[in-house]
Amino acid sequence: MNVLRQSLVDYLAVRRALGYRLVRAEKLLKQFLAFVEDRGEQHLTVETAIAWATAPAGSGPSWMSIRLSCVRQFAIHLRGTDPATQVPPADILPDRPHRATPYLFSTDEIAALMTATATLRGSHRTATYRTLIGLLATTGLRIGEAIGLDRDDFDAMNGVLRIRNGKFGKSRELPLHSSTVAAIDHYLRRVDRPRLPSNGSALFLSPAGTRLLYVNAQNTFQRLVRHCGIMPRSAACRPRPHDLRHSFAVNTILDAYRNGNDPGTRLAILSTYLGHINPAQTYWYLSASPELLKLAGITEARR
């Protein structure tokens, strides 16, 4: 292993110890180092970084910015041990990230998505996606957290779901509504659940008995969205599985306002439940709801 490759291993280890996963960054940086090696270079240069980040021709500005940003972070780390390393300036290929506008699902739309799972091939696949969508809608889980669940993470006796190694390495336990506990328990006891050697420990299984793949879950969800006729509200507001998380967050705070509870206290609890590092992240989830903003304004005006 050459010096640059070993430095990448060290860099990833340090960042992951801080809680970052860096799955995409690792893939991109390995591609970048292969590019550097093909050019016969021993040190990172701004010229080579830009040449790699802007390839292939026709790439969008966001993608080029992401690629160069990965190199920049690595170069900052590398410069501590290799003074010959050149760090690309932050003003080269800048692009402000454009965060998608949350699509807030109505109760009827969520029910329609769950009903639409009947159009999927195979009774087990239908049950898997019906249960998965229901779980996302009632807990606000990230879809990656949901498909990463093992059977042992579900405690039916105490009505608790354990999330291991969530975003930034955080783990948490979620109390579940009795109806959610019953739905998951029923799913796990189905006679059509695959019993293959590859079954492993996953809670949600594909028809082949393997853990669900993120890309397949995303594609199936979009198929159900199209079947239900759920349309984007704008180019930046398209229904995604992650928007079930936004919808859960908004409905949780709306419920506090409607029932006369303290929304501030509910927000602090919600932030912990969602696995956010601080409540500021949760505030952003709530900003897309006109009804919620209106209620917040009315409450503030009455004080």
Tell me which of 67, 130, 266, 276 is the catalytic residue. Answer: 276
Under 8 Å CB-to-CB from 179, ≥6 apart: which residues?
138
Catalytic site includes residue 30: no
Bridge partner residues of 175 (DSSP): 160
Indicate the residue type of 178: S
Tell me which of 72, 124, 130, 245 is the catalytic residue. Answer: 245
Catalytic site includes residue 302: no
Indicate the residue type of 203: L
Indicate the residue type of 180: T
Catalytic site includes residue 214: no
CA gap 237, 167 in Å, rounded: 23
Catalytic site includes residue 245: yes
Distance of CA 197 to the CA centre of its chain: 29
CA gap 81, 77 in Å, rounded: 8
Tell me which of 72, 130, 142, 246 is the catalytic residue. Answer: 142
Tell me how many degrees the CA angle 95-100-102 measures, rounded to the nearest 5.
Answer: 160
Under 8 Å CB-to-CB from 225, ≥6 apart: which residues?
113, 239
Tell me which of 43, 125, 167, 193 is the catalytic residue. Answer: 167
Asked if residues 101 and 237 have their Cβ atoms less than 8 Å apart, the reply is yes
Under 8 Å CB-to-CB from 214, ≥6 apart: which residues?
143, 144, 147
Closest CA to 82 of 19, 164, 172, 10: 10
Bridge partner residues of 110 (DSSP): none
Tell me how many degrees the CA angle 131-136-142 measures, rounded to the nearest 5.
Answer: 130
Tell me which of 242, 246, 257, 273 is the catalytic residue. Answer: 242
Asked if residues 150 and 201 have their Cβ atoms less than 8 Å apart, the reply is yes
Catalytic site includes residue 187: no
Give the residue numbers marked as catalytic. 142, 167, 242, 245, 276, 285
